[in-house]
Amino acid sequence: MTAFHLETIQGVVTLTFDYPNEKINKLTSEVMGELDTMLEEISKTPNLKALVLKSAKRDIFIAGADIAEIRSITEPEEGVLKAKAGQAVLNKLSALEIPTIAVIDGATLGGGLELALACSYRVVSDNPRVQLGLPEVSLGIIPGFGGTQRLPRLIGLRNGLDLILTGKSVDGKKAYKLGLADAFFTQSFIEESLQIFLATIFTSKGKEVTLKRRRPKGFLGWFLERTFLGRRLVYKTAKKTVMEKSKGHYPAPLAALQVIKSTFCGSLTKGLDVEAKAFSLLVPTQISKNLIQLFFVQEELKKYAGVSQPIPIATLQDSGVLGAGLMGGGIGWLLSSVGISVRLKDVQWEAIAKGFSSASKIYDKLVKIKKKTAREVGLSMQLISGTTDYSGFQKTDIVIEAIVEDITIKKKVFQELEGYIRPETIIASNTSSLSISEMAEGLAHPERFIGMHFFSPVNKMPLVEVIPGEKTSDEAIASVVQLAKTMKKTPIVVKNVPGFLVNRILIPYVNEAICLLQEGVSVQVLDHAIESFGMPLGPLALADEVGLDIGYKVAKLLEKGYGERMAVAKAFEVLFADPELRGKKTQKGFYLHSDAKKVPNPKVEALLKSCKVQGVDVSVATAVDRMILLMVNEAARCLEEGVVQKPEHLDMAMILGTGFPPFLGGLCRYADQRGISEICQKLEGFKTQYGMRFEPAKRLIQMAQENKMFYTL
């Protein structure tokens, strides 16, 4: 394999990386071996002035190390050898006696950034695809090719920790501001700008000015970076932040922090040894394997079309949104944020104004955190218009409905809508639970009708369930899947069954939490137990976020669809009967939300007295198992019925739609690691004690009998 091409002009050698037969450059073992040979040759070539490293790939410098190779490491000894081999090559790059310049005009992540850090200088373009970062912690590992050593030394302890411990990336402009890049070029003039930069660093004054930008600014920068007390404060703050975000479930950020803390003031050589050892201890762990598996599922979903055969996909540039409430306004914002014009319709102008306000508030937050400029927001908001009739809907390519969750009203609106749009315009319903096939009844063109279930809040939740009805065409499915990707969401096609996929699995879990309240377990104990398990919110705090009324209505729909095993808890009925208890939107639910800190609502405790089940003493471990294993059981049924294509998609849907802990790999992967036989035994015991809702799914029983797992079927 030849991945690198050398060219020397007037003493400047250009090394261009072009990984054969791939859209990206990645640092495989073979590539690193070839790079090592090239660097050896360059080091022995006389009269060279500089080495320039470039990429031949569009929008990519180097995507990182080969994740498949990292996944294959099963022993710490292998991990040490892998890290040290990479470090040795980059040390050779760093040791060259001539200036080395990484020219970055695209994504530069993981090992790619570590290679760039080993260069004397880095220059970046204003290409919007430029992203620099060390995302290793998202894979359950730490940088192993010198990233924990070179990055904090280059951009300072605080900025280095911020990038390494979060795994986030920065664009070219931010990289230049941080000192991670030494020059910021306009993409269209990158070659001319590079020549000017080379001429600058070839002079002693130019080199001095360039390097001076990297020094810490001001007294605070000096204190926090250069003094023992300052660094101690930085480490303490960083650890507190990591623990608040990870709850201690993710060991990689803590390991990275410890590596940097113990090596920042020492020699690079010793620091690299410590880094390699820490990397080697993390890479064989189950958490790392789980996170890497999810990485590959995400990569697969990027290519996911939602249909089995390639078909032409409609370009959706003009859209309409029916309903300008919280969801409608959020969907309008989302469409406009990717350059799609939006026509918001509601029955009153006051409602449309609220839709505009919802979109504007999201944009304002993006401006505040410097993700958008005021000018960009102005242009995007101009894409949103409003109407109380159907004017402007004739040119729409898709209309997304987000009105009241009432099937009679929805059907009437859809039939009315058909008279104002073109025959090929796609109609998508944002319903969370109603039948897509039933809503399509009576439509002249049911083939263009589909479910497109966004999760709330739209600007934060990454999942979109795509639900075809009985007559939905493949063209409509593929077009909506592509639209979701355009909107930077992850679409997963699911079957049209009550609750679809996520709510079908999630609502019984919330309902079981309410059953446990009836048995005397407190709200706080339940939520704390589930948060300790790894969920971002406990089931009752989640119910408040969603709205008790919405959760109850979906629960009743599931009870109607699936019978006794989805029977709604008596306490759920009692709580829903009180119109004040709607959760966060009324500031009263399982918690009181009027203050900054939520506290349990004493009214809930009072109402539960009429529903209490006597003589039951439930341990915390049993409570967690009842809630989580009920979800595993329903997941098995969903796969058995073909609600979703495969366990990988189900796991990703639960992670993106409910926050199921990524470090556990997803619901099905958790079940595999827990043991299918053990889960079946637990469910049988719960069935005997608590009722038929715990009856193990046929698929689970079969898997236990045949000693199979979700991921090996």
Residues 137 and 283: beta-carbon distance below 8 Å: no
Among residues 43, 1, 7, 37, the alpha carbon closest in space to that of 19 is found at 1
| Strands of 121-125's sheet in order across | 4-9, 12-17, 50-55, 100-104, 121-125, 183-185
Contact 36, 85 (CB under 8 A): no
**Spatial distance between the Cα atoms of 643 and 646, rounded to a whole number of angstroms:** 9
Handedness of CA 497, 501, 503, 507 (dihedral sign): positive
Which of 688, 630, 628 is closest to 664 using CA atoms? 628
Which CA distances in Å does 489 have to 299, 331, 342, 654, 680? 13, 12, 18, 14, 35
**Is residue 155 within 8 Å of 181, Cβ to Cβ?**
no
Structure tokens of 398?
Answer: 């898709």
Query: What is the three-class DSSP state of 566?
Result: helix
Rg (CA), the chain: 28
Query: Coil, strand, or helix at residue 524?
Result: helix
The tokens for 379 are 């242009």
Contacts for 281 with CB less than 8 Å, ≥ 6 apart: 76, 79, 255
* Annotated active-site residue in 5, 445, 453, 649: 453
* Integer Cα distance of 178 and 453 in angstroms: 40
**453 assigned to active site:** yes
Beta carbons within 10 angstroms of residue 273's beta carbon: 16
Torsion from C-alpha of 588, 593, 598, 600, nearest 10 degrees:
-10
At 415, which helix (H) or strand (E)? helix 407-417
Q: Per the structure block, which two tokens stand in for 484?
A: 């979701």
Pairing of strands 26-27, 50-55: unpaired
Instruction: Identify whether the C-beta of residue 110 lies closer than 8 Å to the C-beta of residue 136.
Output: yes
H/E run at residue 481: helix 474-486
Between the alpha carbon of residue 583 and those of residues 230, 452, 594, 659, the distances in Å are 43, 25, 11, 19
The residues carrying an active-site annotation are: 453
